[in-house]
């Protein structure tokens, strides 16, 4: 693959440096823990993309197996089961490898699952052997139910031009041209999936979206407040689902 362009390299460095605030993930019962993998990779121009399953609605099924399982282990295991990406204990076909970058603040699903987003970078160059590959032709097509989306600063979620970043501005202009000429296919990403990706982009590119969005990352405060109200217990009942009334009650505890 092409090396990361300057804007993408800066984004990856920010994700590597990111330290999330204290999380309630380890305090909730096993039955409430879930994790999801945000897998980034570089295209031939060095722009970052994120791999998303077309079955993103199954995000609520990415549950932890044991109390000792880390969020990254859960996310990698579920990615293996759902799309065929080798899990954390399995090798990828050379020259591919996965680097774990950071975890983001936990999000709260309507089904009262606490979901920990885990951000990772798919490398496709082996510095030892010199082997190089294009993820979009040699790995991703082998995986099931996938589409690729821009998570670069060229995405609508991020303010476009930056006065001091020529490489980034050129990437914005290129994507704009591709969109205008029909070379880019768009898919609608919504709900928790969209929110998690936007949060990852906010960290990576140190920018805020132009559209309305939550000012905070994740739902750590809401999770703690719900626990104070006796929610998120070990036993999950079929009817467990957050209502507006319950959310408003929890918000008043802040």
Domain membership of residue 150 as a residue range:
6-218
With respect to residue 226, please indicate whether it lies within any of the assigned structural domains. Answer: no
Q: Are 75 and 118 in contact (CB under 8 A)?
A: yes
Q: Enter the pTM of the model.
A: 0.80
* Model pLDDT, residue 192: 86
With respect to residue 240, please indicate whether it lies within any of the assigned structural domains. Answer: no
**Which one, of 167, 147, 189, 197, lies nearest residue 175 by Cα?**
167
Q: Give me the number of domains the chain comprises.
A: 1
Percent of the chain topping pLDDT 70: 75
**Which one, of 208, 10, 241, 14, lies nearest residue 109 by Cα?**
241
CATH number at residue 136: 3.90.79
Locate all alpha helices (DSSP H) within 109-228, ordered by sequence.
Answer: 135-138, 166-180, 191-205, 220-228
With respect to residue 69, please indicate whether it lies within any of the assigned structural domains. Answer: yes
With respect to residue 48, please indicate whether it lies within any of the assigned structural domains. Answer: yes
With respect to residue 101, please indicate whether it lies within any of the assigned structural domains. Answer: yes
DSSP 8-state assignment for residue 143: S
Give per-residue pLDDT as tens, 46-77: 888 888 765 544 444 589 999 999 999 999 99
Q: Residue 172 pLDDT > 50, yes or no? A: no
């Amino acid at each position: 693959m092409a090396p990361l362009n300057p804007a993408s390299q800066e984004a990856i460095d920010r994700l590597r440096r990111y330290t999330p605030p204290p999380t309630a993930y380890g305090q909730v019962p096993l039955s409430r823990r879930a994790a999801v993998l945000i897998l980034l990779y570089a295209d031939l121009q060095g722009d970052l993309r994120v791999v998303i399953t077309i079955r993103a609605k199954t995000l609520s099924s990415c549950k932890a197996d044991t109390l000792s399982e880390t969020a990254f282990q859960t996310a990698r295991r579920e990615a293996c089961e759902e799309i065929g990406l080798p899990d954390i204990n399995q090798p990828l076909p050379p020259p591919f490898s996965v680097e774990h970058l950071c975890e983001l603040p936990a999000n709260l699903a309507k089904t009262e699952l606490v979901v920990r987003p885990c951000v990772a970078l798919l490398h496709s160059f082996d510095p030892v052997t010199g082997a190089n590959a294009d993820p979009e032709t040699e790995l991703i097509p082998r995986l099931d139910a996938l589409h690729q989306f821009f998570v670069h600063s060229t995405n609508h979620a991020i303010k476009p031009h930056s006065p001091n970043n020529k490489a980034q501005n050129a990437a914005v202009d290129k994507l704009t041209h591709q969109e205008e000429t029909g070379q880019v296919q768009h898919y609608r990403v919504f709900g928790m999936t969209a929110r998690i990706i936007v949060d990852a982009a906010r960290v990576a590119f140190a920018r805020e979206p132009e559209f309305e969005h939550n000012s905070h990352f994740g739902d750590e405060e809401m999770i703690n407040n719900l626990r104070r109200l006796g929610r998120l217990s070990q036993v999950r009942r079929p009817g467990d689902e957050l209502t507006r009334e319950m959310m408003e009650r929890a918000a008043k505890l802040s």
